[in-house]
Amino acid sequence: MARGYNDNEVKARLINLLSDSKTGLSGVEISTKLGINRVTMTKFLNVFAAEGIIKQKNIGNLNLWLIEEGTENLKFPDDYFKVQEKYLGFLTQGSESAVYNLIRNCISSNANVTKLMTEVVIPSTIQINTSFNAGRIGKSEQQFLNGIISKSIQVINLGHFNQKSNKNVIVLSSDLQSILYSEAASAVFRSDGWNVFSLGDMSSAIDVLFDLDLKKMLTKIWKSKQDLMLIVVFSSTEEGLKFFSESFDSIKGKTEKNLFLILSGKVGKKVKIKSDLLTEKLEDIIQWSQTKYENSSLK
């Protein structure tokens, strides 16, 4: 950002400084304590405020800077478990702003989005659903907490990622129970440079005309059949996986060699469902997809 200064070092020093102050510090005080000239420090403060790490409070003619709740110095890969504990703690307390600020803090600290989803967000999602099934929380609270999780995933989606036109993926869920998993997958794919078409919960579209509807969409968004196109389906039931598998089978033509289906869900050993990949693990989906791209002639 500023010549002669390391952004991460300044951020770490600023977080430590403001964490020790309950009332906040002025820009002049921060500049003096960190030994950085006022003009340069102002630029740092504005950028870190935009990242959601710090905030400004005006008291009369005095502008004070304070640390945002959920902000601390994080180092990855060491701190994923620490973040998971904090994320779940803020979540169960219903502290929305702290959850969102924690995710922003992770992104600004260069956390890997795949690990953020698989080691922080998804485990917390499972924990909330487990609490609901065990009767420890009610339906209203479950919906509220799942809403916070969904919004925290969208915080990641607001980031800028460079997409490649030849990496395309449609992500959907066959039921409401799987929607957070599809949102998490969409965020990871987007961070990895894929063009993501997130359809959300498609349970209302499960009918005999779905294959025609999907074919029409593919015609609009998949202009070059030389580009890679994946369809990723998350489902909590075998019936949902089977339906989308059969729909996919009916639309894939012999010339569509770069069109692949990934199904995510649990099926019995005796159940036969056709797909290019069937797994419950998001990390397997991402790894398989990237390998498929790297092994193609599209790189």
Query: Are 280 and 192 in a shared domain?
Result: yes
| 168 vs 170: CA distance, rounded Å | 7
Confidence of residue 139 (pLDDT cuts 50, 70, 90): very high
The phi and psi torsions of 278 (rounded to 5 degrees) equal -130, 115
The per-residue pLDDT for range 215-274, each reduced to its tens digit, is 999 999 998 888 999 999 999 999 999 999 999 988 887 668 899 999 999 888 777 899
CATH code, domain carrying 91: 1.10.1240.10
Look at residue 70 in the predicted model and tell me its pLDDT.
73
**CATH number, residue 62:** 1.10.10.10
What confidence tier does 108 reach under pLDDT thresholds 50, 70, 90? confident
24-38 pLDDT per residue, tens = 899 999 999 999 999
Query: Are 209 and 120 part of one and the same domain?
Result: no
We report the CATH number of the domain holding residue 194 as 3.40.50.280
Distance CA 107, CA 42 (A): 22
Note the pLDDT of residue 6: 78
Q: Are residues 49 and 101 in the same domain?
A: no
pLDDT at 281: 95
Q: Which two tokens stand for residue 43?
A: 């630029």
The angle subtended at Cα 125 by Cα 200 and Cα 146, nearest 5°, is: 60
The boundaries of the domain holding residue 288 are 167-294
Domain annotation covers residue 196: yes
Whole-structure pTM value? 0.85
pLDDT confidence of residue 299: 53
Cα separation, 111 vs 114, whole angstroms? 9
Same domain, 195 and 245: yes
**Look-up of token digits 């180092």:** 75
The helix-helix angle for 38-50 and 7-19 (nearest 10°) equals: 80
Tokens coding 116: 């953020």
Is residue 211 domain-resident? yes
Is 72 contained in some domain? no
Is the domain of 231 the same as that of 277?
yes
- Asked whether residue 153 falls in the same domain as residue 189, the answer is no
**Within this chain, do residues 214 and 129 fall inside the same structural domain, yes or no?**
no
Beta carbons within 8 Å of 243's beta carbon, 6+ residues apart = 174, 206, 210
Overall number of domains in the chain:
3
User: Do 263 and 186 fall into the same domain?
Assistant: yes
Structural domain contains residue 187 = yes
Query: Is 231 within a domain?
Result: yes
Domain co-membership, 288 together with 217: yes
